[in-house]
Structure 1
Amino acid sequence: MALSLTFVREINQVLFIGNSGVKEVILNRPQKLNSLNHEMVSQMKEGLTLYENEPSVKLVILKANGKAFCAGGDVISVITSSVAGHWTYPASFYKKQLMLDHLIATYKKPMVCLINGVVMGGGAGLSMNTTFRVVTEKTVFAMPEASIGLFPDVGASYFLSRLPGYFGDYLGLTGTRLNGAEMLKCGLATHFVPSKKLNLLENALQSITTADMSTIATLIDKFTDEIAYLKEDSPLRRLDTINKCFSKGSVEEIVRSLEKEIEVNGAEKWIADALSYIRASCPTSLKIWLRSVREGRGQSIEQCLCRDYNIACHFFRRTVSSDFYEGSRAKLFHKDNKAVWDPPKLELVSEEMVNQYFREVEDDNWDCLQLPHRSSISKL
């Protein structure tokens, strides 16, 4: 794996602006699709903590510059730091990222997230637990981690497990992309605002003088007068079939159920796409996600984030295999899309292999994630 280094320091990767009552936190790494690195996470955590403790601040707006909201964590920097140093380097960054996600999920003041563009992986961790999640016709959501040998994380087992039926299980196993209308219909978003009205909404929000949730919701509602229509081929229109197939107890059973659907009802595109993604993705990652999302249904955000940290550290440390590094090589470095997974097939991933990822890491350099006890305002 060839690594390249640059010593040019990126500046102003997060911008903090606003008036005394309304603050804006703006991701400002558009040339990298606002992918999160250690500095961005550190700055955001510091800024948001400051705003939370400032009595004059009533509302925080979270947004991004460029065509993407946030395409995820900066996996390339995670891989390079690990390969060039020690597996605990990415673990340190990841711990801080999860602590930021927890801060946002338990934030004591209303937060409006304006999601105009791609939101994946780490970007979902930032946005999906904010009070108000505003999407547009340009929004694209996905959790494609299994395709690079990781798993849907950053609290996905919490916010995806709470979607209708087994729709969240489906999203994590298939990497399916949703548009803004679909996000609104399934509950990932609270409001759909046409992108041409986003600046008007933002300007209106800056005049807010109260932290009252209903007042803020009423203001946002004024800009949501266009109906968000579901496309005819939207997977949300196939929720009955998704529930039937993705409620099965194992990934292998889910695959067989999808194959049977094709035999009985013909090859619908969404089923073919789902099977294609599953067959190309890391078998171990898929099994980890299914167990994780099932456990997450009855757990708190804290439990889900702590489990994510455990699992990810096993991936970083290569406790069971090097799938995360191999998947990143194939997708992000060499870009040949020819990852060689270990094990290579679902049926070869034993229950004991999966169990290992859910145990604490036995390493002198490792401690489990400790999250502070926080009570937050209620979310919509």
Structure 2
Amino acid sequence: MVPTGTADVLLRTEGRAGFLTLNRPRAINALTHAMVLAVDEALTAWEHDPDVTTVVIGGAGERGLCAGGDIRAIHDDARDGGSASAAFWRDEYRLNARIARYPKPYVALMDGIVMGGGVGLSAHGSVRVVTERSRVAMPETGIGFVPDVGGTYLLGRAPGELGTHLALTGAPVGAADAILTGLADHFVPSTELPSLVRDLTRLPADEAVARHSAAAPPGVLPAQRDWIDACYPAESVEDIVRRLLDSGVPAAKETATTLLTKSPTALKATLATLRRARTLATLEEVLDLEFRVSCGSLTGPDLV
């Protein structure tokens, strides 16, 4: 079977690689249900194609890989009962699990903005590349929602309480901090991406990436670990905010102010989901948990 792609998901093969390009640049390649299905179809075809040994996913335009799901469509659907959103999430989460288990190298070029559903399409891959332009985030609490697409699985396994901090605040991280928290593997300067893509057509993925990888510019999270790890183990969101305010650290107090602008329901649901995700053994179990939480959010008043 030769995958055909769509106007929003461009497909091509060159040499040993199959290339997926999300192609909604005006929307920072925000995901639709049709795009999820097109990506899944391509992965099926290339999994069984002996000529394709590596899959590469990237985004059209200069702004980023993918800004997440189509929030406007989800909001409108929630007012109509939410059945379309539930179907979208079911297929999207299955795709996330498939990417994590894909038998061939799956190279995600996480250049620019990578948020929400974009994290699901990239951070479960086997070879995750960030650049100096990368801004990786799970910003769902800002819209009255909960991190999904396996985000609580990934953040729940970040060092210390870094994942809790990122899940509750929705703060974006750069390349070094994405690598530190387990959302990415390799730093490649954005100017090297065209050469990396060429090498991926002729070399094994690990070898191609190694030729272009470098040390990432320093991140900000290491300097914040002390107060993050001290404040976020608190039992409740209210206690976390109290610890942040009482810490005496300006950055912690600013974080408390940020949390107070978000939906209390979304924050509480996020904290509970993240802590439950830490106890589950597999990504599939966490995705099942997130699916139940996501569907439940459709009936709440806080979804923007």
Task: Quickly name the TM-score band, shorter chain normalised.
Answer: over 0.9
1:74 and 2:70 correspond = yes
String of CA shifts for 1:296-318, please: whole Å, max 9, x gaps.
Answer: 123210011001110111112x1
SS at match of 1:280: coil
* Alpha-carbon distance, 1:273 to partner: 3.2
Tell me the C-alpha RMSD between the 2 structures: 1.5
Seen in structure 2, the aligned counterparts of structure 1 residues 151 and 29 have a Cα distance that, compared at 3 Å, is same
- Aligned match for 1:189, one of 165, 184, 187: 184
Question: Counterparts of 1:323 and 1:81 in 2: how far apart (Å)?
Answer: 14
Seen in structure 2, the aligned counterparts of structure 1 residues 273 and 65 have a Cα distance that, compared at 3 Å, is farther
Please name the residue that 1:322 is paired with. Answer: 301
The residue type equivalent to 1:292 in the other structure is T
SS at match of 2:159: coil
Please name the residue that 1:129 is paired with. Answer: 124
Question: Counterparts of 1:306 and 1:86 in 2: how far apart (Å)?
Answer: 20
Please name the residue that 1:298 is paired with. Answer: 279
* Alpha-carbon distance, 1:73 to partner: 0.4
Matched residue count: 297
Question: Counterparts of 2:30 and 2:253 in 1: how far apart (Å)?
Answer: 30
Contact map agreement 1:69 1:123 (CA 8 A) in 2:
yes
1:151 and 2:146 correspond = yes
Structure 1, unaligned stretches of length 5 or more?
Answer: 1-10, 209-214, 329-380
Matches within 5 A, 1:47-196: 47-66=42-61, 67-83=63-79, 85-196=80-191
Matches within 5 A, 1:1-380: 12-19=7-14, 21-66=16-61, 67-83=63-79, 85-208=80-203, 215-225=204-214, 227-231=215-219, 234-262=220-248, 266=249, 268=250, 270-299=251-280, 300-316=282-298, 318=299, 321-324=300-303, 328=304
The residue type equivalent to 1:286 in the other structure is L
The residue type equivalent to 1:244 in the other structure is A
Seen in structure 2, the aligned counterparts of structure 1 residues 90 and 187 have a Cα distance that, compared at 3 Å, is closer
| Residue range with higher mean Cα deviation, 99-108 or 18-27 | 18-27
SS at match of 2:242: helix
Q: Between the two proteins, what is the percent identity of the paired residues?
A: 34
Question: Counterparts of 1:140 and 1:20 in 2: how far apart (Å)?
Answer: 30
Question: What TM-score comes out, normalization by structure 2 length?
Answer: 0.93
Question: What TM-score comes out, normalization by structure 1 length?
Answer: 0.75
Please name the residue that 2:3 is paired with. Answer: none
Question: Counterparts of 1:90 and 1:184 in 2: how far apart (Å)?
Answer: 31
Question: Counterparts of 1:37 and 1:159 in 2: how far apart (Å)?
Answer: 23
Structure 2, unaligned stretches of length 5 or more?
Answer: 1-5
If you compute each CA radius of gyration, which structure gives the higher value, 1 or 2? Answer: 1
The residue type equivalent to 1:256 in the other structure is R
The residue type equivalent to 2:243 in the other structure is S
The residue type equivalent to 1:71 in the other structure is A
Query: Which aligned runs of 4 or more in structure 1 are off by greater than 6 angstroms?
Result: none
* Alpha-carbon distance, 1:15 to partner: 0.5
Question: Counterparts of 1:17 and 1:153 in 2: how far apart (Å)?
Answer: 29
SS at match of 1:322: coil
Contact map agreement 1:246 1:254 (CA 8 A) in 2:
yes
Question: Counterparts of 1:33 and 1:307 in 2: how far apart (Å)?
Answer: 28
* Alpha-carbon distance, 1:289 to partner: 1.1
The residue type equivalent to 2:273 in the other structure is S
